[in-house]
Amino acid sequence: PLRYISKFRPFVKHEAEKNKSRWKTMGPAKVAVPSPKDFLQKHSKEPKLPPRKKEQNSKKPPALSVPRRTDRPVMGIQSKKNFINTNAVAAIRGVPKKPQPFCVDTRQGDKYLLETSGLAPKYIKKKDYGVTPKYVARRNEERKRAKEEYEASILEDLKKKAMKKLSDEERTNVLQALKKNWQETQREYLGLSVVIDTMHKKMHKQRLELKLKELEQDIQALEMHEDVYIANE
């Protein structure tokens, strides 16, 4: 059978020839070919500074300290100074130099300056050595002032609540009495029988343990706090 041919084939060809050029994909050669003589040279794209203008009022260059070729040194001048005697007198009257202390750290004798090694106690020669720093003194003052304010507020509260402070003697007496009571209770606790088989013995042991615990807490509280306040009767 014959191959199928579309009836729109001539129309398509006409449209293609009408709207499309042969060089449509690449484009015409409109750019001129560069000349081989105009090749890219080194530093040709770097910006160039304008030429420097000479100043009209240019100052003269400073005179050089080098002597001129025509200068001649002064001849015939002699000194009557006796350098040998002068050097001898300076050596006799001069103060001898103190040897620099070194630190040797190897058997081969390798040494280095002791002053820059950090082994010499140079800090004791400072002017503020042993002086309390300012921030520590300021902190101590603030702490002291806070303590005074706290004690003043406590005194005010005590006056309102009708409380009184125990003296050192009273506090010592109370502490000694508590310790004596603890010793007696401890002796009684150690004297209990080994076998506790009745309810009375169990309750007595529990009562002694509770009393010992309360006495220990009271003794610890008195030893930890220097100021003790009690209510007036």
The amino acid occupying position 4 is Y
Count how many Cα atoms sit within 13 Å of the Cα of residue 92 in the half-sphere of its side chain.
Answer: 6
Whether 40 shows a pLDDT value over 80: the answer reads yes
pLDDT for 194 equals 83
Percentage of residues in the chain having pLDDT higher than 90: 21
Whether 120 shows a pLDDT value over 90: the answer reads no
pLDDT for 97 equals 85
Whether 226 shows a pLDDT value over 70: the answer reads yes
Query: 169-207: per-residue pLDDT in tens?
Result: 888 888 899 999 999 999 999 888 888 888 888 899 899
pLDDT for 88 equals 93
Mean pLDDT calculated for residue range 30-48: 85
pLDDT for 162 equals 61
pLDDT for 31 equals 73
Q: Of 231, 233, 226, which is closest to residue 171 (Cα–Cα)?
A: 226
Element (H, E) at 41: none
Mean pLDDT calculated for residue range 97-123: 85
User: Please, what is the end-to-end C-alpha distance for the chain in angstroms?
Assistant: 136
Could you list the beta-strand ranges (E) of 65-119.
102-104, 111-113
User: For all residues of the chain together, what is the average pLDDT?
Assistant: 84
The amino acid occupying position 105 is D
Residue with tokens 């009022």: 57
The angle formed by the CA atoms of residues 37, 45 and 35, to the nearest 5 degrees, is 15
pLDDT for 107 equals 86
pLDDT for 156 equals 80
Whether 21 shows a pLDDT value over 70: the answer reads no
pTM above threshold 0.85: no
Whether 58 shows a pLDDT value over 80: the answer reads no
Whether 223 shows a pLDDT value over 80: the answer reads yes
pLDDT bucket at 142, cuts 50 / 70 / 90: very high
Q: How far apart are CA 144 and CA 137, in angstroms?
A: 10
